[in-house]
Amino acid sequence: MSDGLSVELAHYLSVSGIIFGIGIAVALSKRNAIAVLMGIELMLNAVNLAFIAFARLGGNFEAAGGDPLAGHVFVVFVLTVAAAEAAVALALAVLVYRRRETVDLDRITLMRW
Amino acid sequence: MLNRLPIPAQFDRIIVVGATIAVLGALPIAAVLIALLLLDELTAPEVVFWAVAALIVAGALGTVLLPNIVHAAVSLVATLLGVAGIYLLLGSEFLALVQLLVYGGGVTILLLFGLMLTRAADDPVIADGAQKPFAFGVAALIGGIFVAAVLDANWSQTDAAAIGIRDIGQRLFRDYGVPFEIASLVLLVALIGAIAIARSDQPEPEAAEAEEVTT
């Protein structure tokens, strides 16, 4: 093959970093509570991507006592907690909508003094 | 009630228009990638990586830039499926399947249900907050620092062996048995908590009768 770029660890981590940045932008800029939740899901996916990239391509960490299987297992736990978080957060959003007829975060000022 | 839900007419329109835009945007990228593949500039895994990376970033940008919240949710699905593609590329078939099931199926449906239950279809556009420039600045700062640091570092990459489903299962249930059980407990608590939170305060007549029967 030519001396073109091969896909390296840095490429995967760059994609992960870009998704994480966009996730922060979504979570901070949107006013809809469910859109903020989407941003959090994006950030969690970025973290998972970094975990898997290191587990597969960070082979030189293995010599230092690293364990690629631990990365996979951690991703499974992150997925579990993310699903639980999504369920509870959406239940909260539905409850807030029922009480206050909106999920606009700028209008949910119950705890502002 | 039923005619408030954005199916099927609105979803059909979203899918058709969105798919048209996505195909129009993807065609040049696919053409360039296939040309490079035929010219032996790129290997097949690289072509797959760049295509999937373009899908992921485009979906994420759609999530942040599309004003309509339902469109943003559908755009998010593209990102989640693209991440599953990256998992496949990295040789983690199990996690790719879990990603498809949990995110492509579960979380997406939850998000769309949440949008429908909060009547997002009636007024899908809630403008971004006044903190939008600040949010974009913070995102660019953190993302930029992360990407710059990653590209600057010297990783001296070596490939670890691809990991099979059997190895993950053994590790998960033998060495990480206790965290696994705690995770299942977390799921149980979240399930009960979500039901307890979202339950309406006034029990419906049938539910009240059922409670009387049990007591």
How far is it, in rounded angstroms, from Cα A62 to Cα B189?
A: 36
DSSP per-residue letters across B106-143: IIHHHHHHHHHHTTTTTS---PPPTTHHHHHHHHHHHH
How far is it, in rounded angstroms, from Cα A11 to Cα A5?
A: 10
* pLDDT beyond 60 at B8: no
CB atoms within 10 A of CB B145: 12
Rounded to the nearest 10 degrees, how much is the dihedral formed by the CA atoms of B150, A41, B164, A61?
30
Over the Cα atoms of chain A, what is R_g? 19
Give the minimum alpha-carbon distance from B117 to chain A in angstroms, rounded to a whole number: 7
Q: How confident is the model at residue A11 (pLDDT cuts 50, 70, 90)?
A: confident
Partner-chain contact B160 A55, CB within 8 Å: yes
**Residue B90 phi/psi, 5° resolution?**
-85, 5
Which range is least confidently modeled, A47-61, A93-107, B97-111, B194-208? Answer: B194-208
* Range ranked top by mean pLDDT from A28-37, B21-30, B116-125: A28-37
How far is it, in rounded angstroms, from Cα B33 to Cα B41?
A: 9
Q: Which residue has the higher pLDDT, B182 or B8?
A: B182
The CATH number given to B2-137 is 1.20.120
Domains of chain A: 9-100 (1.10.287.3510)
How far is it, in rounded angstroms, from Cα B45 to Cα B88?
A: 11
Chain B partners of A70 at a C-beta cutoff of 8 Å?
Answer: 171
Q: Choose among B43, B135, B200: nearest Cβ to A29.
A: B135
Helix (H, G, I), strand (E, B) or coil at B193: helix
Q: Which residue has the higher pLDDT, B116 or B41?
A: B116
* pLDDT beyond 90 at A98: no
Q: How confident is the model at residue B120 (pLDDT cuts 50, 70, 90)?
A: low
pLDDT tens string B125-156 = 766 777 888 889 999 999 999 989 888 877 76
Q: Are A16 and A50 in contact (CB under 8 A)?
A: yes
B contact test, residue of A54, A78, A80 with most B CBs within 10 A? A80
* pLDDT beyond 50 at B37: yes
Crossing angle for the helix pair B44-65 and B69-89, to the nearest 10 degrees: 160
Which range is least confidently modeled, A22-31, A53-62, A97-106, B100-109? Answer: A53-62
Which pLDDT score is estimated for B211? 57
How far is residue A26 from each of residues A57, B89, B140, B146, measured CA to CA in Å? Answer: 29, 27, 12, 17
Residue among B46, B37, B72 at smallest CA distance from B58: B72
Q: How confident is the model at residue A16 (pLDDT cuts 50, 70, 90)?
A: very high
Average pLDDT of span A81-106: 86
Q: Domain spans of chain B?
A: 2-137
Which pLDDT score is estimated for A2? 36
pLDDT tens string B39-91 = 777 777 788 888 899 989 999 998 888 888 888 888 899 899 999 999 988 88
Give the minimum alpha-carbon distance from A112 to chain B in angstroms, rounded to a whole number: 17
Q: Are B79 and A44 in contact (CB under 8 A)?
A: no
Q: Which residue has the higher pLDDT, A34 or A8?
A: A34
pLDDT tens string B162-212 = 677 888 888 888 888 899 999 999 999 999 998 888 777 665 566 555 555
Size of interface A-B (CB pairs under 8 A): 266
Q: Are B33 and B91 in contact (CB under 8 A)?
A: no
Q: Across the strands, what pairs with B158?
A: A58
How far is it, in rounded angstroms, from Cα B198 to Cα B114?
A: 11
pLDDT tens string A21-66 = 999 999 998 888 888 999 999 999 999 999 888 888 876 666 666 6
Residue among B132, B63, B42, B162 at smallest CA distance from A22: B63
How far is it, in rounded angstroms, from Cα B102 to Cα B109?
A: 10
Give the minimum alpha-carbon distance from A113 to chain B in angstroms, rounded to a whole number: 20
Average pLDDT of span A66-77: 82
Q: Are B88 and B81 in contact (CB under 8 A)?
A: no
Helix (H, G, I), strand (E, B) or coil at B202: coil
